[in-house]
Amino acid sequence: MKKILLLMAIILPFALTSCGDDKDEPQSLEQQLIGDWYYLLNEYTVQNYLFNSDHTGKYWVKQDGEVINGSIVTFNWSLEKIDNETILVIESEGFPTAYYSIFIKDDELHLDSNLPGLSWIYKRVQ
């Protein structure tokens, strides 16, 4: 009997472990946010965000495929939970701290400013 219990104690952890990544498991919002995003202002102008896993990032604007001189801004970002809402906080030297209500659905990043009428839907760069 002791041998059976010992054998079960050794084998049971291996039987209960998962192999590989489970594609069905939802990623956290933070994991989903990491990467490149773009927003078309018009047919010539594109806003871009890059969110890095180390909570740094970069923002820039392209016009006719070229980065507009002086438009590149580096920043630090974080996510906060306030009143059941997730807030993206962007801090950059020389600019006021920006706060956006955020959610991601179907590879679309939805950013809503606390100012009326200011919201954007960014698409993931493929």
pLDDT digits (tens, 9 = 90+) for 21-66: 545 556 799 999 999 999 999 999 999 999 999 999 999 999 999 9
pTM, whole model, 2 decimals? 0.77
Per the CB < 8 A criterion, the answer to whether 108 and 121 are in contact is yes
What is the pLDDT of the chain when averaged over all its residues? 86
Instruction: Give the separation between CA 79 and CA 33, rounded to whole angstroms.
Output: 10
Strands (DSSP E) contained in 65-126 are 66-67, 73-82, 85-91, 98-105, 108-113, 119-124
Predicted confidence (pLDDT) at residue 13 exceeds the cutoff of 80 = no
